[in-house]
A = this chain, B = another copy of it.
Amino acid sequence: MGKSNLDLVGELDKFPYYDDNPAFYAAHLKKHHAFKVNGCDAVLGYILNSVVAKFNWPTEHWAVDSTRQTVTLTTAADATPEQRSAVIAATLEAEAKRGTFEVLKGWRNELYAVYAPGGKFLLGMERCATPLFGVVSYGVHGTCYVEDEQGLHLWVPRRSKTKQTYPGMLDNSVAGGMSTTERPFECFVREASEEASLPEDIVKATTKSVGCISYFYVRDSRAGGETDLLQPEVEYIYDMKLSRDIVPKPSDNEVEEFKLYTVEETKRALANGEFKPNCAIVLIDFFIRHGILTPENEPDYFEILTRMHRRFEFPTASHFAN
């Protein structure tokens, strides 16, 4: 017996739900401090108590309240995002030098955005540090597929065996994280070129925005670094219907090869746990939207759909281009 689709969703959406067991949920929350920023009422993420204890929080910029279990960035209430980001960068660089946290060894020089209520940009934070603060991160995932008289086939890449995270696992055709300055589709076009060698004009002509998925991930050993760090994520989803003559190819050393999978081959690889956890969910969403998984053939249809569209207790981005 392989993994069910709900098993796969459950491996990704792992943070408990209040409704399932209020007492357990409250006890679990107690293992974390709330991450806050002066001038913003909202909780922005949850930091493991063990992380709070190991961190060196410079008192001129940070206030740790161990009774209320909060860690607050104390920059002025009217500070600019740049000012907040600079303080966070200095704190994180010092920790990286001290070598306190495994995850900071994966420093990428890439800023991820944290938002205030209303989707307002609040600050940027080095990508590899976001799981330490448990803030929401954003990415794009897309499925390239061929649908013709030979049926439906999906382009499935295998991650390079030397990749830092999830080496050798199967991936989505196109996937990547969104840095502070990017909008979703712009990010998708860049990733499609970088990871699948697909030219911009083909991507723009064939890609359809089809929704987003969200889940509250709790990192395990496969993600690398400290375990139990929180990683609530939003992934904007794209479908890309390609004609059979357009073939995605690796263009950097992150992808080993692309192969065209049938639906049955993809389902088998899912059940075998061969896909990177969040990529599995993107494919389950694809199968639901394309009528391959239905209420009649998927026993956990409703539970899967709600858990892959999890609402967060944290403010989230608006990428509205006004």
Q: Which of B18, B290, B305 contacts A208 (CB 8 A)?
A: B290
A209 touches B294 (CB 8 A): yes
Interface: A2 (CB within 8 A)? no
A209/B302 in contact, CB under 8 A: no
CA separation between A185 and B307, bound complex, in Å? 23
Query: B319, A295: Cβ atoms under 8 Å?
Result: yes
Name the interface residues of A4-24: CB closer than 8 Å to any CB of B.
17-19
**A86 interface residue, CB < 8 Å from B?**
no
A121-129, A157-165, A268-276, A310-318: which lies at the interface: A310-318
Segment from A64-72, A192-200, A210-218, A243-251 that makes contact with B: A210-218
Q: Which chain B residue shows the least CB distance to A319? A: B295
User: Once bound together, how far apart are the Cα atoms of A184 and B210, in whole Å?
Assistant: 23
Does A61 count as interface, using CB distance less than 8 angstroms?
Answer: no
A78 to chain B, nearest CB (A): 24
State in angstroms the CA–CA spacing of A303 and B307 once bound together: 14
Cα A150 to Cα B3 in complex, Å, equals: 45
- A39 in the interface, Cβ–Cβ < 8 Å? no
* A291 to B, closest residue via Cβ: B208
- Is B183 in contact with A295, judged by CB distance below 8 angstroms? yes
Are B209 and A291 touching (Cβ within 8 A)? Answer: yes
**A17 partner residues in chain B, CB cutoff 8 A:** 311
A236, B295: Cβ atoms under 8 Å? yes
* Interfacial chain B residues near A208, Cβ < 8 Å: 290-291
A24 to chain B, nearest CB (A): 14
Tell me whether A288 and B210 are in contact in the complex, defined as CB-CB below 8 angstroms, given that A294-B185, A306-B311, A311-B306 are known contacts: yes
Contact pick for A307, options B210, B305, B311, B320, CB 8 Å:
B311
Number of interface residues of A (CB under 8 A): 45
The answer for the CA separation of A291 and B288 in the assembled complex, in Å, is 16
A30 within 8 A of B: no
Is A109 positioned at the interface, with any CB of B under 8 Å from its CB? no
**Is A99 engaged at the interface, CB distance under 8 Å to the other chain?**
no
Asked if B301 and A318 make an inter-chain contact with CB atoms under 8 angstroms apart, the answer reads yes
Bound together, the chains give a CA A234 to CA B309 distance in angstroms of 14
B321-A300 in contact (CB<8A): no
Within 8 A of B (CB), among A283-297: 288-291, 294-297
- Given A18-B18, A306-B309, decide whether A318 and B291 contact each other with a Cβ distance below 8 A: no
Whether B289 pairs with A210 at a CB distance below 8 angstroms is: yes
Residues 175 to 189 of chain A near chain B (Cβ within 8 Å): 183-185
Using a CB–CB cutoff of 8 Å, the interface residues on chain A facing chain B are: 17-19, 119, 183-185, 208-212, 214, 234, 236, 288-291, 294-303, 305-313, 316-322
Interchain residue pairs A-B with the least CB separation, the first 4: A309-B309, A306-B311, A299-B320, A19-B313
Give me 5 other A-B pairs in contact (C-beta within 8 A), A19-B312, A289-B289 excluded: A208-B291, A296-B319, A301-B318, A305-B309, A306-B311
